[in-house]
Structure 1
Amino acid sequence: MNGWRTRYLTGMVVDATGAGMYLPLSLLYFHHVTGLPIERVGVLMTAGALFALVGNPIAGVLVDRFGARAVVVGGYLLRAFGFGLYPFVDSALGMFLAVALVAVGDGSFSPSIQSLVADIARGAERDKLLAAQRSLRNAGLGAGGLVAAGALTLGSDTAYQAIVLGTGLAFVLAAVIVGSIRYRPAAPRVRTPARGGYRTVLANRPFMILTALNVPVAFGYMVLAVALPVYITTQLGAPTSLVGTLYAVNTIGIALLQIPVTRYLVRYQRTRTTAAGAVVIGVSFVVFAALGVVSSSTAVLLVGAFVATALFTLGELMHGATASALVSSAAPAETRGRHLSVYQFSWAIPTALAPAVLTWLMTFSATGMWLVLAAGVTASALALVRLEPRLPQEAVRIAVPVPQPA
Structure 2
Amino acid sequence: MKKPSKQVRYMIGMVVDATGSGMYLPLSLLYFHYVTGLPITKVGVIMTSAAVVGLVSNPVAGVLIDRFGARTVVVGGYVLRAAGFCAYPFVDNGVFMFAVVLPVALGDMSFPPAIQSFVAEIARGTDRDKLLAAQRSLRNAGMGVGGLLAGAALALGSDSAYHLIVICVAVGYLVAAALIRTIPTDRAAPPVGGRPSRKGGYLLVARNRPFMALSLLNVPTAFGYMVLSVSLPVYLTQELGASSSMVGVLYAVNTVGIALLQIPVTRVLGGYRRTRAMALGAAVFAASFVFFAVLGTFPKGTAVIVGVFAATMAFTAGELLHGATASALVAQTAPEETRGRHLAIYQLSWAVPIALAPAVLTALLSVSAIGMWLLLAAGVAGAALGVLRLERRLPEAAVHPRPSVRPADEQPADEQPAGEQRPVGT
- In the TM superposition, residue 376 of structure 1 has moved relative to its aligned partner by 0.4
What do residues 281-318 of structure 1 show as CA deviations (whole Å, max 9, x unaligned)?
Answer: 00000100000113x25221122111100100000000
Deviation for aligned residue 1:85: 1.1
Match of 2:238 in 1: 234
Distance in 2, matches of 1:16 and 1:192, equals: 35
Q: Deviations over 1:103-148 (max 9, x none)?
A: 1011111001000110111110000000000000001111111111
Match of 1:150 in 2: 152
The residue number in structure 2 matching 1:97 is 99
Contact 2:198 2:337 in 1 (8 A): no
Matched residue, 1:116: 118
**Aligned partners of 2:27 and 2:386: how far apart in 1?**
40
Q: Which amino acid in structure 2 is aligned with residue 77 of structure 1?
A: V
* Whole-angstrom distance in 2 between the partners of 1:23 and 1:232: 22
Q: In structure 1, give the amino acid aligned to 2:371.
A: G
Q: Does 1:365 align with 2:368?
A: yes
What code does the residue aligned with 1:248 have?
A: A
1:254 to 234, 239, 258: 258
Q: Matches of 1:180 and 1:160 in 2, distance apart?
A: 31
Is the partner of 2:56 in helix, strand or coil? Answer: helix
Whole-Å separation in 2 of the counterparts to 1:242 and 1:21:
21
TM-superposed deviation, 1:382: 0.3
1:201 to 2:205 alignment: yes
Percent identity of paired positions between Structure 1 and Structure 2:
62
Q: Deviations over 1:76-120 (max 9, x none)?
A: 001001111111111111100100010101111100100011011
The question of whether the paired residues in 2 share the 8 Å contact of 1:4 and 1:181 is answered with yes
Report deviation, 1:195: 4.6
Cα shift at 1:188: 4.5
Q: What SS is found at the alignment partner of 2:82?
A: helix
Work out whether 1:321 is the aligned partner of 2:324: yes
Does the 8 Å contact 1:188/1:333 carry over to 2? Answer: no
Q: Which residue is 1:355 aligned to? A: 358
1:344-380 per-residue CA deviation (whole Å, 9 max, x = no partner) reads: 0000000011111111111111111000000000000
* Whole-Å separation in 2 of the counterparts to 1:25 and 1:287: 32
Aligned pair 1:387/2:390, yes or no?
yes
- Residues 285, 315 of structure 2: 8 Å contact kept: yes
In the other structure, the counterpart of 2:56 is 54
Is 1:67 matched with 2:72? no
Pairwise mapping of residues 160-239 of structure 1 onto structure 2 (< 5 A)? 160-185=162-187, 187-188=188-189, 191=195, 193=197, 195-239=199-243
Quote the Cα distance in structure 1 between the aligned partners of 2:254 and 2:53.
29
Structure 1: gaps (5+ residues): none
Contact 1:151 1:159 in 2 (8 A): yes
- Letter of the aligned partner of 1:280 in structure 2? V
Q: Distance in 2 between matches of 1:149 and 1:18?
A: 13
Change (3 A) 1:189 1:387: farther
RMSD of aligned alpha carbons: 1.4
Q: Secondary structure at the match of 2:55?
A: helix
Asked if the contact 2:241–2:300 (Cα under 8 Å) also holds between the matched residues in 1, the reply is: no
C-alpha separation in 2, matches of 1:209 and 1:85: 41
Pairing partner for 1:346 from 346, 349, 361: 349
Identify the residue that residue 307 of structure 2 maps to in structure 1: 304
* 1:244 equivalenced with 2:254 (yes/no): no
TM-score by length of 1: 0.97
Q: Residue type matched to 1:253 in 2? A: G
Instruction: Give the SS at the match of 2:340.
Output: helix
SS at match of 1:50: helix
State the 1:189 CA deviation.
Answer: 6.6
Where does structure 2 lack aligned partners over 5 or more consecutive residues? 412-426
Question: Mean Cα displacement is larger for which, 50-59 or 369-378?
Answer: 50-59
The equivalent of 2:141 in structure 1 is 139
Aligned length: 404
Moved over 6 A (4+): none
Q: Report which stretch shifted further, 148-157 or 208-217.
A: 148-157
- TM-score, reference length from structure 2: 0.92
Q: Deviations over 1:1-55 (max 9, x none)?
A: 9611110000000011111111111111111111111111111111112233111
Deviation at 1:240, TM superposition (A): 1.2
Aligned partner of residue 367 in structure 1, secondary structure = helix
User: Amino acid of the residue matched to residue 40 of structure 1?
Assistant: K
Q: 1:189 to 1:91 in 2, by over 3 A?
A: farther
Q: For residues 246 and 111 of structure 1, do their structure 2 counterparts lie closer, same or farther at Cα, with a shift above 3 Å needed?
A: same
| 1:378 matches 2:381 | yes
**8 A contact 1:111–1:341 mirrored in 2:** yes
Judged with a 3 Å threshold, the aligned counterparts in structure 2 of structure 1 residues 189 and 165 are, in CA distance, closer, same or farther, namely: farther
Quick one: which amino acid aligns to residue 238 of structure 1?
Answer: A
Taking a change above 3 Å as real, the CA distance of residues 188 and 391 of structure 1, as seen in their structure-2 partners, is farther
Counterpart-to-counterpart distance in 2, 1:307 and 1:14? 32
Distance across 2 between alignment mates of 1:164 and 1:4: 28
**For 1:307-342, what per-residue CA distance to the aligned partner results, in whole angstroms no more than 9, with x for missing partners?**
100100000000000000000000000000000000
Matched, 1:267 2:271: yes
Question: What amino acid is aligned across from residue 166 of structure 1 in structure 2?
Answer: C
Distance 1:161 1:79 in 2: 16
Post-superposition CA distance 1:200-255 (Å, at most 9, x none): 11111110000000000000000000000000110011111221111110010000
Q: Secondary structure at the match of 1:51?
A: helix
